[in-house]
């Protein structure tokens, strides 16, 4: 226990509190910017078992904010690489790796084994999946979100408290992700550490938890605000979304589907594929008739958010054979380059 002596000295922790942490299981969904800030502090604090869910790979543009990764690890799995580094930092704890994206098909199985869930993603649709599963399984989850120099943190479904849907009832939110809007690494680091701190408070049952409260932090102005919200008495019935088939980038390249790219023209990387068709999401509502409804279409974008909106739009137009890719264009580029190198 010498490793944890300084925090054991705190009257709010003590030996009994440290034993609680060592017996706890926390799942972190996403090993990107927020995950790279959350994970080291959970591991260092002595959380007994930490799960990491991420199907993405390290890119050079990640390195300014995803501080767990080194330049020579570009192209490696984020989940595996973060686990290896964290295990070196604290070999006494257990780290479980889920080298996959969280989907409606695997979410219940993955989440069920953990006491507390931390959302370190930048995907609205995944957050609703996390929220609804946590409600069904009676597990609290800690939310974090970034927009440029601003961040948000809250705790949902804590002891029957408000959920994500109580404050964000609509799925079709238009806020761009970090790739589209830009982000400062220090913003991600601060918000991630606040998420980790909330996790420790919940596990130790100390302090005032951000349940029913949304913390907004603006690093440009050094301002923070806390907004209170309550559980909705009669929540709106969740909209039932089409259950699109999800394929990995490898499965996509092996399939015979038409690849519909809904990124804007000029976005990198350029995808070279015999059945590649590009119609930006901004133009799809006018140009969708150039597609054939009987075709089997795989929709993708840069991160997955625009692709899901596009697939939903096509579904409403009568298209049935629609699939989505777990990931984005850079996953396709990586596999294409890998196959070219092998050949």
pLDDT tens readout for residues 190-210: 999 999 999 999 999 999 999
Is the pLDDT at 293 greater than 50, yes or no?
yes
In this model, does residue 278 exceed pLDDT 60? yes
pTM: predicted TM-score of the whole model, two decimal places: 0.73
| CA-wise closest residue to 228 among 216, 217, 218, 220 | 216
34 and 121 fall within a common domain: yes
pLDDT tens per residue across span 5-38:
999 999 999 999 999 999 999 999 999 889 999 9
- Residue 172 pLDDT greater than 70, yes or no: no
**Rg (alpha carbons) of the chain, rounded to whole number:** 21
For the record, the structure tokens of 72 come out as: 């020579």
**Which CATH number covers residue 271?**
3.40.250.10
Residues 70 and 201 both lie in one domain: yes
The more confident residue out of 228 and 268 is 228
- Provide the pLDDT confidence category of residue 341 given band limits of 50, 70 and 90: very low
**Cα dihedral 18/19/21/22 (nearest 10):** 120
| Residue 179: band (very low, low, confident or very high) from pLDDT cuts 50, 70, 90 | low
pLDDT of the residue at 202: 96
- Assign residue 116 the CATH number of its domain: 3.40.50.720
If asked whether residues 66 and 124 sit together in one domain, one would say: yes
Residues 292 and 253 in one domain: yes
Same domain, 24 and 98: yes
Average pLDDT on 283-312 reads 85
Domain housing 288: 245-342
Which of 228, 263, 298 is the last residue before a domain boundary? 228
Q: Report the C-alpha gap between 157 and 118 in whole angstroms.
A: 12
Q: 3-state SS of the chain: helix, strand, coil percent to 5?
A: 40, 20, 40
**CA nearest neighbour of 178 among 149, 153, 156, 207:** 149
The tally of domains found in the chain comes to 2
Cβ pair 57, 67 in contact under 8 A: no
Residues 69 and 205 in one domain: yes
Tens digits of residue pLDDT in 215-229: 999 999 999 999 999
Question: In terms of domains, do 190 and 221 share one?
Answer: yes
The answer as to whether 332 is a domain residue is yes
Q: Are 276 and 170 in the same domain?
A: no
């Amino acid at each position: 226990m010498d490793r944890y002596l300084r925090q054991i000295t705190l009257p709010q922790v003590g030996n009994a509190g440290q034993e609680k942490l060592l017996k706890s299981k926390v799942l972190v969904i996403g090993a990107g910017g927020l995950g790279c800030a959350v994970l080291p502090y959970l591991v260092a604090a002595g959380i007994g078992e930490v799960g990491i869910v991420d199907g993405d790979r390290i890119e050079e543009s990640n390195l300014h904010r995803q501080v767990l990764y080194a330049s020579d690890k570009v192209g490696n799995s984020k989940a595996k690489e973060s686990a290896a580094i964290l295990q070196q930092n604290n070999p006494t704890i257990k780290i479980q790796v889920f080298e996959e994206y969280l989907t409606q098909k695997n979410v219940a199985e993955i989440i069920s084994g953990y006491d507390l869930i931390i959302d370190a993603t930048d995907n609205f649709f995944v957050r609703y999946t996390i929220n609804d599963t946590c409600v069904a399984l009676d597990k609290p989850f800690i939310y974090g979100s970034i927009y440029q120099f601003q961040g948000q943190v809250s705790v949902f479904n804590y002891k029957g408290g408000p959920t994500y849907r109580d404050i964000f009832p609509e799925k079709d939110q238009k806020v761009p992700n970090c790739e589209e809007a830009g982000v400062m690494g220090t913003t991600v680091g601060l918000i991630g550490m606040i998420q980790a701190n909330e996790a420790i408070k919940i596990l130790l049952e100390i302090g005032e938890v951000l349940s029913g409260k949304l913390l907004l932090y603006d690093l440009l102005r050094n301002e923070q605000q806390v907004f209170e919200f309550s559980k909705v008495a009669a929540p709106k019935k969740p909209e039932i979304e089409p259950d699109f088939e999800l394929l990995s980038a490898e499965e996509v390249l092996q399939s015979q589907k038409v690849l519909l790219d809904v990124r804007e023209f000029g976005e990198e990387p350029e995808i070279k594929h015999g059945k590649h068709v590009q119609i930006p999401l901004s133009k799809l509502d006018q140009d969708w008739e150039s597609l054939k409804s009987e075709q089997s279409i795989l929709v993708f974008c840069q991160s997955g958010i625009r692709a899901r909106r596009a697939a939903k739009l096509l579904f409403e137009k009568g298209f049935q054979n629609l699939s989505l890719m777990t990931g984005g264009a850079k996953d396709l580029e990586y596999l294409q380059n890998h196959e070219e190198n092998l050949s």
